[in-house]
Structure 1
Amino acid sequence: MAASLVDMRTRLRLGALLMALSLLPALLAGCASLNRNHQALMVLGDLSAGDGESRLKRRSEPPRREGLHYARQGRAYQADLYHPRVPSRGSLILVHGFTEQGRRDPRLVALAMTLGRVGFTVMVPELDGLRDYSISTREVEAIVDAIRHATRASPEVPPRTAVAAVSFAVGPALIAAMDEAVAHRVSFVVAVGGYYDMTDMLRYVTTGEDRGEVGRAVPPPQREARWAVLLSQLQWLEDQQDRALLETIARRGLADHAAPVSAEAQRLGGSGRALFDLVTNEDPGRVEALIGRLPPALARELEALDPSRRSLDSLQARLVLIHGPQDRVIPFSHSRRLHDALPPGQARLFEAGALQHVAVSSGWRDGWGLWRALVHVLALGEGE
């Protein structure tokens, strides 16, 4: 009897041990998930804190920044590379939006530092068109070249990298990620507050109508956005006087959207007047016709930068869409339509109330959606 009890206890212990061993992968996975959840919370706190103290800053070492110079087929580039103290999540190319400070914009530097603290090796290329508000397909080419550079180490079995972009840079970044030369080298794309349909984006910025939200109320657009759009397309005007006049108008409008501009507008030539009429139009029904009056080179560029005009079949990367529901620059509907245009499971859409277009609100307001998005990005960075 005693021997049988010992045998039973031994079998029970062995059974418990085998069960524990069988559950170990799940337990470890659970620990990894809990760790990501905690890291995402610290990332959110760090983004909300800005330059101030945060738990992430206290608990992690900052990445080391290195300046880069590289070239591709005669095209010369500059970038910053942020080396994490513990590289655990692969590489990520961070594409800046419209900012005259380019890759050294303090907000962008802070974001790169935050991502470096959680294990990403972050490359931030300098994109001239986004720095001087002259966005074009040149930026698509530059992002493709950045992907080539970031994944150049193993040409036979290329390593993969992620791409993250914000606002008006999302279109060029997404189109670059679909380029047949590098599509297989991009693991995932993070798009924050981006656009999908160029015509509808212009319609909203100029008239306030969002045709992607039929029957739903949308917030009024920021009046300054139309002047940013104007600045971004001046390079396609051949008439130097028109370009100078429109730049004066745009910069005055950015400083004060109610500033008088009629004196300069009266001196515009045909092409300059066509662009001015588009960005100052307030009739939603006229947008297509006004686009049709633009100089051919400008109209071609707008079409080339329009993801809705392209087949998305060539996108091999997974897509993470993060958008604020009250975005007053690019409506939330653009990310939803982009999500719906892709096969089920390829994209995830996160409604992030904590975002004011691309800026994180202070005080943790409505942080749940952004936290969930950050958990997903951290998991993708680990190859899940």
Structure 2
Amino acid sequence: MDIAIAKRRIVPDWPGALALLFTHQRNLGDRIPLTVSHAGRPIDLYCPRGHERGTVVFVHGMSSRGREDPRVRSLAWALAATGRRVVVPEIPSIRRLTIRVDQPREVQAVLETIAADPALVPAGRFALMAVSFSGVFALRAVCSKALGGRVNAACLIGGYFDIDTVISFLINSNRSDPYGRLLIARSYFTDIEPRGEAFHHHLDRCIECSTANQPGWSLRELLDPAEPQQQQLYQLLSEPAERQAFCRQVMAAFDDDWADYRAPQEFGERRTPVFLLHGRGDRVIPAGESRRLARQLAEQGVPCHLCVTRLLEHGDSAISLYRLQELYRLLAGFAWFLGSCREPQTPRPAAAA
């Protein structure tokens, strides 16, 4: 599905989109970028060859490798191939695979610090790219007074519109990826309702197996029913009644301590173009979330382009070119995003007679 809405004229950057996708297929995730220290935080810089055509700040998703994740690096190098400087800051709390009360403020502060440094953002304006749950930080930055006027475009890959729907899917649906349910559990029982060391030890074991994507693994095989802590964790994550009760607890947290993880519903006068890219079979954040967000943006007159594709899954950068029937649509989406990154042209004054 593709939806494109724009009041501002956006000229697609087709050469840039082609360069991005072809570079992406080279799988440059092992190529090491330049790393600098900025306010005590490591930041990776991906510098294009030749003339720079702008800056993209990339907020990584919940991956144990953070900014060093090969998927992040592969996409960042692909963006650099379009002439953009790419800035990827390390966000330790996201890298630790946790949701925390202070995380939204932390990410906003990092983005503000980067935007204020001409050594990182020479033109003073930049595009934002964010993956998965980090998409909400990009939306909040676009809507903020501090950054809203400096963000010229945003790209959300696998983002969400309604956190309640996502949480219900992750916890209650048997179709969802257990990885998401496990991360929610660890964050909740760390930040909201702390549990003992043994409980977290067993929960971390489950997360490690899920992250490694070991074939045939299951919670029942990992958690011993004869041991009370392990059996309690198994029931919490597996039994329908326990899962529903846990879901209600988590939703209450998003109404209170975690309220800043709710996506903004009102964009005011902001007309920052937003590109929404989502894997059709995403089992962490369903593709319907990007569809709903696209409708919300359209209703408020925000330029947006939605592409739901079979060419990638959640957080996955392995775009399969053999599915040529979807390739054009993906190219069109990135061409639109790269075109929206350009600064609006100011009409030249009429020449004096």
TM-score w.r.t. length of structure 2: 0.77
**298 and 357 in structure 1: CA distance in 2 versus 1, 3 angstrom threshold:** closer
Higher fraction of helix: 1
> Which ranges in structure 2 are unaligned for 5 or more consecutive residues?
1-8, 345-353
1:335 corresponds to 2:297: no
In 1, Cα distance between the equivalents of 2:194 and 2:77?
Answer: 41
Matched residue SS, 1:187: strand
Q: Deviations over 1:322-344 (max 9, x none)?
A: 11222222111100111111213
In 2, Cα distance between the equivalents of 1:264 and 1:132?
Answer: 30
Checking the alignment, whether the CA contact within 8 Å between 2:186 and 2:200 is kept in structure 1 is no
Output the aligned Cα RMSD: 3.5
Q: CA deviation at 1:93?
A: 0.6
Aligned residues with identical type, % of pairs: 23
Counterpart residue number, 2:50: 86
2:261 to 282, 288, 305: 305
The code of the aligned residue for 1:82 comes to Y
Matched residue SS, 1:177: helix
Q: Deviations over 1:109-128 (max 9, x none)?
A: 22211111211111100011
1:257 corresponds to 2:218: yes
1:320 to 271, 275, 281: 275
In 1, Cα distance between the equivalents of 2:105 and 2:86?
Answer: 19
Counterpart residue number, 2:41: 77
Checking the alignment, whether the CA contact within 8 Å between 1:79 and 1:125 is kept in structure 2 is yes
Matched residue SS, 2:46: strand
In 1, Cα distance between the equivalents of 2:251 and 2:164?
Answer: 16
Counterpart residue number, 1:235: 190
Counterpart residue number, 2:34: 66
Most deviating of 96-105 and 314-323: 314-323
2:177 to 222, 237, 246: 222
Checking the alignment, whether the CA contact within 8 Å between 1:354 and 1:364 is kept in structure 2 is no
**204 and 294 in structure 1: CA distance in 2 versus 1, 3 angstrom threshold:** closer
Higher-Rg structure is 1
In 2, Cα distance between the equivalents of 1:261 and 1:302?
Answer: 29
Counterpart residue number, 2:301: 344
Counterpart residue number, 1:39: 16
Checking the alignment, whether the CA contact within 8 Å between 1:158 and 1:185 is kept in structure 2 is no
1:373 corresponds to 2:333: yes
TM-score w.r.t. length of structure 1: 0.71
2:130 to 144, 149, 165: 165
Q: Deviations over 1:254-289 (max 9, x none)?
A: 5523434254883289xx97x973x545479x74x5
In 2, Cα distance between the equivalents of 1:303 and 1:128?
Answer: 20
Checking the alignment, whether the CA contact within 8 Å between 1:78 and 1:126 is kept in structure 2 is yes
Structure number with higher relative contact order (C-alpha < 8 Å, ≥ 6 residues apart)? 2
In 1, Cα distance between the equivalents of 2:139 and 2:170?
Answer: 21
In 2, Cα distance between the equivalents of 1:125 and 1:347?
Answer: 26
State how 1:161-200 maps to structure 2 within 5 Å.
161-200=126-165
**158 and 113 in structure 1: CA distance in 2 versus 1, 3 angstrom threshold:** closer
